[in-house]
Amino acid sequence: MALEHVFIHHVFFWLKNPSSQSDLDSLLAGLKKLTAVKTIKQWHIGRAAGTHRDVVDRSYSLSWLILFDNLQDQDSYQRDPIHLHFVEECSGLWSRVQVYDCVDAA
């Protein structure tokens, strides 16, 4: 099924303490709270799959994939108090965050 006419926001998190189950659980709990943001159309929280190829980056701790109807909804998400609280509450857990935003190619 093709995804069309959506704004995709994909965030990858690297924990400061990647071996800490407590830190992983805290980040997972924080991401689950984010699902309450009204402008989110669909979401997925993931971890690296067991694939081993040169082109696969498995170094991250968790990923957060969100679909929005449009850029405006994503902008609203960025300003939403639930998102701002997540950043305040969880930013001490990660050493790196990488974001990939994309829209339809044609």
Tens of pLDDT, residue by residue over 6-56, are 999 999 999 999 999 999 999 999 999 999 999 999 999 999 999 999 999
Residue with tokens 């093709």: 2
The number of distinct structural domains making up the chain is 1
Residue 97 lies in a domain: yes
Residue 45 lies in a domain: yes
Residue 46 lies in a domain: yes
Cα–Cα distance for residue pair 13/95, rounded to 1 Å: 8
DSSP structural state of residue 19 = T
Q: Which residues contact 79 (CB under 8 A, 6 or more apart)?
A: none
Q: Which domain holds residue 39?
A: 7-102
Residue 48 lies in a domain: yes
pLDDT (0 to 100) of residue 17 = 97
CATH number at residue 85: 3.30.70.100
**pLDDT of 46-96, one tens digit each?**
999 999 999 999 999 999 999 999 999 999 999 999 999 999 999 999 999
Give the closest residue to 28 by CA, choosing from 100, 93, 101: 93
- Cβ atoms of 57 and 36 within 8 Å: the answer is no
Residue 2 lies in a domain: no
Q: Model pTM?
A: 0.94
Residue 73 lies in a domain: yes
